[in-house]
């Protein structure tokens, strides 16, 4: 359990993705423009375990929610 608010780097590590700033920016650019009606956990680019983690974190209103919401906003931003 985290004692501090997780960072974007922490989220990417938790999702098993490269978590350096360049990799995060490339991921956001690659998946940018997600359909506004699609929830982040339903995006087609997640694998099953990533999708399950995101869904569980959102359902439990876990400490991850703020950073997941931030990623979601960046993916939807025009």
Q: How does pLDDT run across 22-72, given as a tens digit for each residue? A: 999 999 999 987 766 678 999 999 999 999 999 999 999 889 999 999 999
DSSP-derived letter for residue 40 is: G
Q: What is the pLDDT of residue 29?
A: 94
Identify the burial level of 64 via C-beta atoms within 10 angstroms of its C-beta, where 0-12 means exposed, 13-18 middle and 19 or more buried: buried
Q: What is the pLDDT of residue 31?
A: 92
pTM of the shown model: 0.87
Given a contact cutoff of 8 angstroms between Cβ atoms, the answer to whether 70 and 13 are in contact is no
Domain ranges of the chain: 8-76
* Domain 8-76 superfamily per CATH: Uncharacterised protein PF10982, DUF2789 (1.10.10.1130)
pLDDT-derived band of residue 77, with 50, 70 and 90 as boundaries?
confident
């Amino acid at each position: 359990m985290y004692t501090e608010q997780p960072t974007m780097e922490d989220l990417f590590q938790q999702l098993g993705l490269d978590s350096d700033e360049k990799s995060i920016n490339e991921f956001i650019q690659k998946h940018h423009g997600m359909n506004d009606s699609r929830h982040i956990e339903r995006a087609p680019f997640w694998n099953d375990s990533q999708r399950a983690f995101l869904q569980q974190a959102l359902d439990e209103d876990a400490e991850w929610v703020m950073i997941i919401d931030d990623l979601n906003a960046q993916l939807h931003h025009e």
